[in-house]
Homo-oligomer: A and B are copies of this chain.
Amino acid sequence: MFRTAELGQKLPKKEYKAIEPLLREELLELQQALLAQAKTPVIIVFAGVDGGGKGETVQVLNAWMDARWLINRAYRNPSDDERERPEYWRYWRDLPPRGRIGLFLSSWYSRPVLDRVYGTISVAELDERLDRIVTFENALAEDGALILKFWMHLSKSAQKARFKSLEKDPFLSWQVTEKDWEHWRRYDSFTDAAERTIMRTNTGRAAWNIVEGADPYFRSITVGKIIRDTIRKKLEQLADAEHVKSSTTSSPQPPQSNQHSAIEGDIEKILPSATLLSKLDMSLTLSKPDYKARLKKYQGKLNLLHRRAMAKGISTIVVCEGPDAAGKGGMIRRLIAAIDPHNYQVLPFAAPTDEEQARHYLWRFWRHLSRAGDFTVFDRSWYGRVLVERVEGFASEAEWRRAYAEINDFEEQLIEHGIVLVKLWIHITKEEQLHRFKERENTPHKSWKLTEEDWRNREKWDDYEQAAHDMFQYTSTRYSPWVLVEGNSKYFARVKAVKTMCDYLEQALKRKTDLTKNSSN
């Protein structure tokens, strides 16, 4: 989940200085439009790791916007006054009225996450607290509130570096306390609690934005831009709804986005937008003899492991996604070559059938879950909802946004049931894809593989890459991570895929054995 915010993204000062006045002007204008319309309160929540720039970002937003109409709230340990009322009293009390923006630091997320990190509450208790949050945010959103949530992230090493550098500065060293270091030592439990928190509260109505917090210029502009886009969209929706109701009555108009297309173009162009995929080492490769030897070795191992898994009733589900011509087919052949044909099934998914179209999009995947012990390969999968359906507009934004949570819930049910779920993304570079397309064109027995659609999809390469990046962000969790396979070398990719399968099955068998041991004690 957080790897997508550990890419080392930076914005140089010069470019920051170019963007900042433009963004600022737009934010001010939107703030005025919000006030004039007085229909929707805006609630902006900042959470994340210490040193991720939560407080600094609130500072910047106060400088950019008209601070008279901002409500800033940060919560400490409850006062007497607060302790004598239910926990949420203080949050209700501070809600902004319609038309105004509230910025919340150390909000309702702070205590549940920290209580879990320090082991004061169990996972089930954390879930109960997160339920309360969802109920709270839903009630506000259904009443018309716009809720934006930012999770400011730093990697463990970046957090350490940040604390060290603050400590060296005589004017800033007070910011780093023993408590901060204590939190740092618990970084991994913090990540676990954070991941569960984000997953369970990432609703369509109040979605999380995970922001890389290391570079102040990058994070400020990123947050500002998301706030701008979200408020603008909301104002446009409200204006549309107003328009439908009655096209005669006049109401305050939001700034039109087309007025700003030039400026936006600038910001989009200048702001770096690295994706997780752009950071892969695509030069990884393997010689032919090496490939043959290793493939044989891991296929043999996979065969043994799967037979042991069968015996214990452990099912395996492999999800394969990636760009066209990335080599999914060849890779799948190498996987199943290791498995007894009685026990595997490869399910290719293209456009849904009529029967499938007539039901919820997850139905077609649920129906194909196999019995205990089976090894099932999904060649394309439920992730189509947030990839092709998003990019091609087959699913509305509301539909694909809520799909992240639906997919997480679905996979949680698979894993709870004891299924080994492996999600493989086979990647190739845009150049390598072109090379393979041309090769297919020129090879008679391969030309059938290349369709017009492949060329059309290729034109939307950047959109697909962004969709994949967002998918990794919201659905790559500690209990079910995405495995990114560098696929420019088919040899390398196939061996990595088969080896990954071995690792997963080995771990699952070990867990099962441990469980049996414990229960027999």
Contact = CB atoms under 8 A, between A and B. Distances in A.
A262 interface: no
Nearest to A130: B131
B414 A360 contact: no
A88 interface: yes
B89 A369 contact: yes
Interface stretch (A136-144, A227-235, A452-460, A491-499): A136-144
A386 to B, nearest CB: 15
A38 to B, nearest CB: 7
Given A41-B359, A361-B143, A402-B142, A413 B95 contact: no
A84 B314 CA distance: 9
Of A81, A355, A413, A414, most B-chain CB atoms within 10 Å: A413
B127 A358 contact: no
B139 A92 contact: no
A85 interface: yes
B414 A139 contact: no
A372 interface: yes
Contact of A97 (B128, B244, B355, B406): B355
Contacts of A362: 92, 139
A313 interface: yes
A417 B85 contact: yes
Contacts of A405: 135
Nearest to A369: B85
Instruction: Count this chain's copies in the assembly.
Output: 2
B413 A88 contact: yes
Interface string A435-465: 0000000000000000000000000000000
A135 B404 CA distance: 13
A93 interface: yes
A86 interface: yes
A87 interface: yes
Contacts of A366: 88-89, 92-93
Contact of A131 (B89, B98, B131, B143): B131
A416 interface: yes
A84 B359 contact: no
A140 B360 contact: yes
A508 to B, nearest CB: 16
A291 B145 CA distance: 51
Contacts of A300: none
A367 interface: yes
A359 B88 contact: no
Contacts of A349: none
A86 B244 contact: no
A124 interface: yes
A313 B84 contact: yes
Nearest to A98: B358
13 contacts: A41-B359, A85-B417, A93-B366, A124-B124, A127-B128, A132-B413, A139-B362, A139-B409, A140-B360, A142-B399, A143-B360, A145-B360, A244-B244
Interface of A: 38, 41, 81, 84-89, 92-93, 95, 97-99, 124-125, 127-128, 131-132, 135, 139-140, 142-143, 145, 204, 244, 313, 315, 355, 358-363, 366-367, 369, 371-372, 399, 402, 405-406, 409, 413-414, 416-417, 419
Given A89-B366, A97-B355, A139-B409, 20 more contacts: A38-B358, A84-B313, A84-B315, A86-B416, A87-B413, A87-B417, A89-B369, A93-B367, A95-B360, A95-B363, A97-B358, A98-B358, A98-B359, A99-B358, A124-B128, A127-B131, A139-B406, A142-B399, A142-B402, A143-B361
